[in-house]
Chain A
Amino acid sequence: MKYREGEPIRDTKAPEGPIEERWEKRKFAARLVNPANKRKLSVIVVGTGLAGGSAAATLGELGYQVTSFCYQDSPRRAHSIAAQGGINAAKNYRGDGDSIYRLFYDTVKGGDFRARESNVYRLAQVSVNIIDQAVAQGVPFAREYGGLLDTRSFGGAQVSRTFYARGQTGQQLLLGAYQALERQIAAGTVTMHARHEMLELIVSDGRARGVVVRDMVTGEIESHLADAVVLATGGYGNVFFLSTNAKGCNTTAIWRAHRKGALFANPCYTQIHPTCIPVSGEYQSKLTLMSESLRNDGRVWVPLRKGDTRPPAAIPDDERDYYLERIYPAFGNLVPRDIASRAAKNVCDEGRGVGPGGLGVYLDFADAITRLGREAVEEKYGNLFEMYERITGEDPYAQPMRIYPAVHYTMGGLWVDYDLQSTVPGLFVVGEANFSDHGANRLGASALMQGLADGYFVLPATIGDYLADARDFGPVNEVSVAEAEIAVRDRIHRLLSVDGDRTADSYHRELGKLMWDYCGMERTEASLTKALERIPELREEFWRKVKVSGTNEELNQALERAGRVADFFDLAELMCLDALHRTESCGGHFRAESQDADGEALRDDEHFAYVAAWEHAPEGPVLHREDLAYEYVTMSQRSYK
């Protein structure tokens, strides 16, 4: 796959001046829309997770006419609900030296110096408002006996700034956003369409003006128009088939927008989470995360010697290798995710892995249970231990958990400017669907923070500036609507008429394995070249041999899946191309050719300190570079030793 270089991106719209004043400046400069006019302006929000749910609710509160879509049967199901561990905020309630600047610094460093300073600083600033908002909504965060909020530590940080609600923080925050959204639905400011999937973006006279959706119950193809469109459709980790994402998570909304002109930034930045329950068989349909918070009290180890098949209890302490504590004494078990994942892979590659196939390491709570008592451990992690027991049939109070890295989050996504607007005017992208704040590696408990920052605070402040001109947008061009609808109908018709002999899931599984093997935790020029050969072959076969039963005019889950897999093929190709072109290692992107003497990721700041934003073009992708400048944090080799 060939690509060519396009014009670099020079303006991200971040204001100049001291970093702590930029967000205030931007908010002040943004034009306002008076309340009477807001009622005449309409916004479509696709997706109802933390970012989309909070955005739709807040825009509704402000008085816009909002139309919201989700593919699930209720907005409360979006996959933010599964986030376990917590949400970061620079409250410094502990007095342990935390500050907005430190959260900013940790996030830039944790992202391996591939995120924008202005965006990250704003995120850290807004983080404190999120906790206030969530508490006011009735989110039942963990509290201490004095009635104040409890916090814990997460990877990549040496302060305790993670607020949590047992192991169900995402659920509680999402229910807060969902309830705010339902309140607006009742108030009539938001119209909700559940069981609707966005299949195309409508671009009219250069502006995003609507979406084409499929009613997943009746199959009806509908166009919805608005003055602006917000995509909050999450990440694309399911390109790997097995991931911690929900089964329905997909790339279709952002991929369709990409095809309509939105640049796709850093697609190769994938986060492999170190603590997931290992794969148990060929039929496996998804992977389950065990929260990073467990690394606060769990100790990670493997047997010291290769091929040691004794049960864990029979291995004495001096024949165990607590390898994270050994290699990274300063951060120990709380090193960032990318580092912990690669370390696990390394010990398994050495033949010291445990469990079936040797693809696992122990996460041991024996010391914590002795130190804190079983009850305290249960209080903190009870639901996670229970979940582990349900899936594996093993009791983690009695024997260590077995864990292995799995695809969890995608830092890449649609390119957005400081206002969260993509390169298609009027198309805004929030939450995991955009690329903006985590660089090449996201720190734990920062996804919830970013989703809610975007939805409650950033987008509502910036979108008004765009909508202030809505009077001049004019009517939506009917041809652009008709074309988008025809494209959707054609694709559905094509999928239904192949009538081959393999299911969409079987192709998805094969694509996922290929991506895991060749574009997973470790990437090489050879593996990526191989993937770029295989993906088009497999895609060609898919379009020739896929079997989709039933018709469009009914609830048809086979058809839904096939459409998503088709888009995953195209995305996979761009991911591999991006990974191939970035010959350095950084964060979650590890190129085996670029490592230091200790096997750590070796960045190449001279050549790669930029955001790779890809444009879709018929003759092949076009690369636009956005140079990253660091005025506040000095770029350095990350060290967690």
Chain B
Amino acid sequence: MNLTLKIWRQHSPDEPGQMVKYHVKDVSPDMSFLEMLDVLNEGLILAGDDPVAFDHDCREGICGMCGMVINGVAHGEQKATTTCQLHMRHFKDGDVVTIEPWRAAPFPVIKDLVVDRSAFDRIIQAGGFVSVPAGAAPDAHAVPVPKGDADDAFDAATCIGCGACVAACPNGSASLFTGAKITHLGSLPQGRPERASRAKTMVEQMDLEGFGGCTNTGECTAVCPKGISLDVIARMNADFLKASR
């Protein structure tokens, strides 16, 4: 199939960007979205043009490095799918596809589709861990964990930190990301001693980074490639309130 792409090009953080039109020919339905961009870039390099910069690494939907807004939807319209796992069989000949970076003030554009998501790392630094140095751990069976709690923890822990939730949120909120970590660790006995302080410091850091507040629009969970539930935000708020009292 042949496609028309409209891609956000921005050479550096300080320069203005614009949408630029490209045509790609003979796209196979079995290609992934990023493989289609690889083909475009090979052509651009040979023509001496600047290839489109985009982040990607594992290309199997788990590292969380890739992410672009495709036709207005973070990671594209396919449900529970990262950009790298989106395949061209979901497009048809003649389609016009717009491709933009995550847009949120705390995620400044570095180049083209590449944004700076280090704010997420700083939120984790603010308390997204259990304070247990190597070698200090008791036997793994010392504390049984009810299966339901372990499953809840896992469902939240599956977050890949891609930032689609922020890109989709009209407020640019990182509540789904932050709530997922608070829920993951707070659901487990090992994470409980720091549960209150964690919620407080992580939420404060999230605000400090310039992410917006949550108004329950649910756009985040709709685009989340791992299907993280809005419940994690409720839990974050509950833990935060308790900690702030």
* Pairwise interchain contact A247-B56, C-beta atoms closer than 8 A: yes
* Pairwise interchain contact A138-B185, C-beta atoms closer than 8 A: yes
**Contacting chain B: which of A358-366, A405-413, A549-557, A623-631?**
A549-557
* Pairwise interchain contact B111-A555, C-beta atoms closer than 8 A: yes
* Pairwise interchain contact A147-B147, C-beta atoms closer than 8 A: yes
Chain A, residue nearest B141 (CB): A148
A164 to chain B, nearest CB (A): 11
* Pairwise interchain contact B158-A168, C-beta atoms closer than 8 A: yes
Q: Given A91-B140, A136-B190, are A73 and B65 also a contact pair (CB < 8 Å)?
A: yes
Q: Which residues of chain B from 148 to 164 have any CB-CB distance to chain A below 8 Å in the complex?
A: 150-151, 153-154, 157-158, 160-161
* Pairwise interchain contact A217-B110, C-beta atoms closer than 8 A: yes
* Pairwise interchain contact B190-A133, C-beta atoms closer than 8 A: no
Chain A residues, Cβ within 8 Å of B157? 138, 140, 165, 172, 175
Chain A residues, Cβ within 8 Å of B78? 390
Chain A residues, Cβ within 8 Å of B105? none
**Contacting chain A: which of B30-38, B211-219, B228-236?**
B30-38
* Pairwise interchain contact A246-B64, C-beta atoms closer than 8 A: no
Report the bound CA distance from A136 to B154 in whole Å. Answer: 15
Q: Given A137-B129, A137-B190, A557-B53, are A503 and B45 also a contact pair (CB < 8 Å)?
A: yes
Q: Annotate B50-92 by CB proximity to A: 1 below 8 A, 0 otherwise.
A: 1101011111111111000000000000101100011101000
Report the bound CA distance from A251 to B221 in whole Å. Answer: 38
Q: Which residues of chain A from 150 to 170 have any CB-CB distance to chain B below 8 Å in the complex?
A: 165-166, 168
Q: Does B240 contact A (CB under 8 A)?
A: no
Q: Given A73-B65, A143-B150, are A136 and B136 also a contact pair (CB < 8 Å)?
A: yes
* Pairwise interchain contact A74-B138, C-beta atoms closer than 8 A: no
Chain A residues, Cβ within 8 Å of B65? 72-73, 77
**Contacting chain B: which of A261-269, A277-285, A532-540?**
A277-285
**Contacting chain B: which of A17-25, A105-113, A178-186, A302-310?**
A178-186
Q: Annotate A422-465 by CB proximity to B: 1 below 8 A, 0 otherwise.
A: 00000000000000000000000000000000001100100000
* Pairwise interchain contact B137-A133, C-beta atoms closer than 8 A: yes
Q: Which residues of chain A from 543 to 579 have any CB-CB distance to chain B below 8 Å in the complex?
A: 547-550, 554-555, 557-558
* Pairwise interchain contact B39-A283, C-beta atoms closer than 8 A: yes
Q: Which residues of chain A from 44 to 101 have any CB-CB distance to chain B below 8 Å in the complex?
A: 54, 57-58, 61, 72-79, 81-82, 91, 93
Report the bound CA distance from A72 to B50 in whole Å. Answer: 21
Q: Which residues of chain B from 175 to 211 have any CB-CB distance to chain A below 8 Å in the complex?
A: 184-185, 188, 190-191
* Pairwise interchain contact A133-B63, C-beta atoms closer than 8 A: no
Q: Does A132 contact B (CB under 8 A)?
A: yes
Contact among B132, B144, B150 with A133 in the assembled complex (CB-CB below 8 Å): B132
* Pairwise interchain contact B63-A79, C-beta atoms closer than 8 A: yes
Interface residues on A, range: 35 or more
Chain B, residue nearest A163 (CB): B140
B6 to chain A, nearest CB (A): 21
* Pairwise interchain contact B87-A58, C-beta atoms closer than 8 A: no
Chain A residues, Cβ within 8 Å of B188? 138, 140
Chain A residues, Cβ within 8 Å of B62? 81-82, 168, 171
Q: Given A82-B62, A182-B125, A217-B110, are A77 and B140 also a contact pair (CB < 8 Å)?
A: no
Chain B, residue nearest A170 (CB): B62
* Pairwise interchain contact B56-A387, C-beta atoms closer than 8 A: no
Report the bound CA distance from A79 to B62 in whole Å. Answer: 9
Contact among A143, A149, A246 with B57 in the assembled complex (CB-CB below 8 Å): A246
Q: Given A175-B157, A288-B60, are A138 and B125 also a contact pair (CB < 8 Å)?
A: no
Q: Does B20 contact A (CB under 8 A)?
A: no
Q: Which residues of chain A from 363 to 392 have any CB-CB distance to chain B below 8 Å in the complex?
A: 386-387, 390-391
Q: Does B238 contact A (CB under 8 A)?
A: no
Chain A residues, Cβ within 8 Å of B55? 73
Q: Does B5 contact A (CB under 8 A)?
A: no
Chain A residues, Cβ within 8 Å of B134? 54, 57-58, 61, 133, 180, 456-457, 460
Q: Does B128 contact A (CB under 8 A)?
A: yes
Report the bound CA distance from A281 to B38 in whole Å. Answer: 14
Report the bound CA distance from A330 to B35 in whole Å. Answer: 42
| Tally of contacts, chain A with chain B, CB under 8 A | 219
Q: Does B139 contact A (CB under 8 A)?
A: yes
Chain B residues, Cβ within 8 Å of A143? 144-147, 150
B93 to chain A, nearest CB (A): 17
Chain A residues, Cβ within 8 Å of B49? 549
Q: Given A246-B59, A284-B35, A503-B46, are A77 and B147 also a contact pair (CB < 8 Å)?
A: no
* Pairwise interchain contact A183-B28, C-beta atoms closer than 8 A: no
From B56, B78, B89, B120, residue with most partner A Cβ within 10 Å: B56
Chain A residues, Cβ within 8 Å of B146? 143, 147
Chain B residues, Cβ within 8 Å of A506? 42
Chain A residues, Cβ within 8 Å of B3? none
Q: Does A505 contact B (CB under 8 A)?
A: yes
* Pairwise interchain contact B154-A283, C-beta atoms closer than 8 A: no
Contact among B38, B58, B89, B138 with A393 in the assembled complex (CB-CB below 8 Å): B89
A129 to chain B, nearest CB (A): 7
Chain B residues, Cβ within 8 Å of A476? none
* Pairwise interchain contact B150-A77, C-beta atoms closer than 8 A: no
Q: Annotate B96-118 by CB proximity to A: 1 below 8 A, 0 otherwise.
A: 00000000000000110010111
From A72, A165, A182, A554, residue with most partner B Cβ within 10 Å: A182
* Pairwise interchain contact B161-A76, C-beta atoms closer than 8 A: yes
Chain B, residue nearest A501 (CB): B46
Contact among A82, A283, A547, A549 with B35 in the assembled complex (CB-CB below 8 Å): A283
* Pairwise interchain contact B85-A179, C-beta atoms closer than 8 A: no
Chain A residues, Cβ within 8 Å of B145? 143, 147
B28 to chain A, nearest CB (A): 5
Report the bound CA distance from A46 to B177 in whole Å. Answer: 27
Contact among A79, A183, A554 with B12 in the assembled complex (CB-CB below 8 Å): A554
Q: Annotate A288-316 by CB proximity to B: 1 below 8 A, 0 otherwise.
A: 11000000000000000000000000000
Chain B residues, Cβ within 8 Å of A134? 140
Q: Does A492 contact B (CB under 8 A)?
A: no
Q: Given A77-B65, A171-B62, A171-B158, are A93 and B141 also a contact pair (CB < 8 Å)?
A: yes
Chain A, residue nearest B114 (CB): A555
From A132, A145, A148, A168, residue with most partner B Cβ within 10 Å: A132
Chain A, residue nearest B47 (CB): A549
* Pairwise interchain contact A132-B140, C-beta atoms closer than 8 A: yes
Q: Does B241 contact A (CB under 8 A)?
A: no
* Pairwise interchain contact B161-A179, C-beta atoms closer than 8 A: no
* Pairwise interchain contact A503-B154, C-beta atoms closer than 8 A: no
Chain A residues, Cβ within 8 Å of B144? 143, 146-148
Q: Does B244 contact A (CB under 8 A)?
A: no
Q: Does A343 contact B (CB under 8 A)?
A: no
Since A135-B137, A283-B39, A386-B80 are in contact, a sample of 11 more A-B pairs with Cβ atoms closer than 8 Å, ordered by chain A residue number, is A57-B134, A79-B63, A133-B137, A135-B140, A138-B185, A143-B146, A143-B147, A147-B147, A194-B118, A217-B110, A549-B50
The 10 closest A-B pairs by CB, nearest first: A147-B144, A136-B137, A179-B129, A186-B125, A132-B137, A140-B154, A140-B153, A135-B140, A61-B133, A246-B57
A and B contact pairs by CB, cutoff 8 A, 22 listed? A72-B65, A73-B65, A74-B161, A76-B161, A132-B139, A135-B137, A136-B138, A138-B188, A138-B191, A140-B153, A171-B158, A183-B129, A192-B121, A246-B58, A247-B56, A247-B58, A247-B59, A286-B59, A386-B80, A387-B61, A501-B46, A549-B49
